[in-house]
Structure 1
Amino acid sequence: MAGRSFIAGLAVLLIAAAIAAEQSPLQDFCVADPSNAVLVNGLACKDPKTVQANDFFFSGLHLAGNTSNAVGSRVTPVTVGQLPGLNTLGVAVARIDYAAWGINPPHTHPRATELLTVIEGRLEVGFVTSNPDNRFISKVLSKGDAFVFPQGLIHFQRNIGKTKAIAIAAFGSQNPGVITIANAVFGSMPDIATDVLAKAFQVDKKLISQIQSKF
């Protein structure tokens, strides 16, 4: 039963993600050729005559991710980087595993809307609208529930159960990108000046330095 629900959830997300924000392809497919040095908005295409079935194939979404990290979650992406056949097709997916009370920290996807479906467990999810309202919209999801995060908005998920949780996310981009807020603000290389962040967050510079040291 678990296997069937996993497949059903993935199928629903793939259908939903087919309504893509990216431009429609101009040919049947454009399998990515990462070795090509040509810079385009996306990746250059392989010669169609050399394309094989494996260019359209990925295996591994049935495997649990290792959640033994500071936030208690692991994302297994299937974007054009892992599945070259996604190039120009405007879709991608990911599996997200959560330890008990694990979080997928606040982050954004600059190039894609995300549709999340819970496969196992219960998740608290939410996103924040843009300035000036900054309205926080959240909901608790159970197995089989779906929730959409609009493109570019900060959002998160948290496992509120005592056992692991699993979700599948579908994206309206072959390469949705991810900006994890804490990593970007406190873990940039080189660091953003402490006085800038102290003024932005209205805290002491020492506290900023302490937080930066964790990233």
Structure 2
Amino acid sequence: MTTMKAFPLLLVALSIFLCTARATTLDMNDLDFIPEVRQRAAFDSNDFIFKFQSVTEETPFGNLRTMFVNDNPALATLPGEGAAQNLVTVGPCAINQPHNHPRATEISHITEGELLFGFAEENGGRPFIGGNATKGQTVIVPQGVIHFAQNLGCKQAQFIASFPNRDPGTQTTASTFFRLPLSAIRATTGLSEKEIQKIMKSVAANLNPSLDSECAKRCGIKH
């Protein structure tokens, strides 16, 4: 009988222990885990209207401004996987280099100029899909697919990329490939170490957004 009476007390103690253990492993300052009450407090009349602020990537040929949860805590209040955006400015003859987003589909709306959007499907799929998109048009890029946005004109272009994930991730194709071991690159390309080193230096120096030299000549752009 004594054992039976003690059993509920053990359950209560175990529950308290588990709750305490959970609390110690959860960082409440982590914006991905803001409690509901704090979420509602963060999403008020001052926070649901916002603008792109910090430039995360910039070259003479364009720039990228992000709007992730660390820039705007209100994004942490959204249901499911949340949301994120990029504001991308692509200068004349420049390209937002081939890359993919491993955790989200991209929905890009062109706000200025004209851009060639293109992407390659997975192994066995179509080798290339692309087309020109102009101001007011929207482009859909499936999750994980390598894609790019290139400005082949002589005027600036710009688009807003939206993602149904607070952390879509970005993996730039060329620079990622050349982070692999030399033996893997050599076996894949059939190039010598000297040739590979030359390409690696070129890729490292060609920061994103980068310029198409032939287009630059046509538009009279010095670089």
Same fold (TM over 0.5): yes
CA displacement, residues 122-176 of structure 1 (integer Å, 9 cap, x when unaligned): 1001111001235210001111111100000000000111011111111111111
Structure 2 residue 191 is matched with structure 1 residue 203: yes
Distance across 2 between alignment mates of 1:174 and 1:55? 16
Q: Go from structure 1 to structure 2 and tell me whether the alpha carbon gap of 1:64 and 1:120 turns closer, same or farther (over 3 Å shift).
A: farther
Task: Tell me the distance in 2 between the aligned counterparts of 1:101 and 1:68.
Answer: 13
How far is the alpha carbon of 1:84 from its aligned partner? 1.6
The structure that has the greater radius of gyration is 2
Q: What TM-score do you get using the length of structure 2 for normalisation?
A: 0.67
Find 1:157's aligned residue among 149, 162, 167: 149
RMSD over aligned Cα atoms: 2.9
C-alpha distance in 2 between matches for 1:109 and 1:39: 27
Matches of residues 40-119 of structure 1 in structure 2 within 5 Å? 43-46=32-35, 48-49=37-38, 51-52=41-42, 53=44, 56-60=48-52, 67-69=58-60, 72-87=61-76, 88-89=78-79, 90-119=82-111
For 1:129, the aligned partner's letter is: E
**Percent identity of the aligned residues?**
28
Q: Is the 8 A contact 1:57 1:83 kept in 2?
A: no
Measured against aligned partners, the alpha-carbon deviations of 1:60-107 in whole angstroms (never above 9, x if no partner) come to: 36x9998534xx332211121211221253222111001101101000
Q: Figure out how many residues of one structure are paired with residues of the other and give that number.
A: 173
Structure 1 counterpart of 2:120: 128
Q: Cα 1:66–1:132, aligned 2, differ >3 Å: closer, same or farther? A: closer
Structure 2's unaligned 5+ residue stretches are 1-23, 205-223
Q: Does residue 158 of structure 2 align to residue 166 of structure 1?
A: yes
Q: 1:43 to 1:202 in 2, by over 3 A?
A: same
Letter in 1 for 2:185: L
Runs of 4+ in 1 over 4 A off after TM superposition: 39-42, 54-57, 63-67
Aligned to 1:146: 138
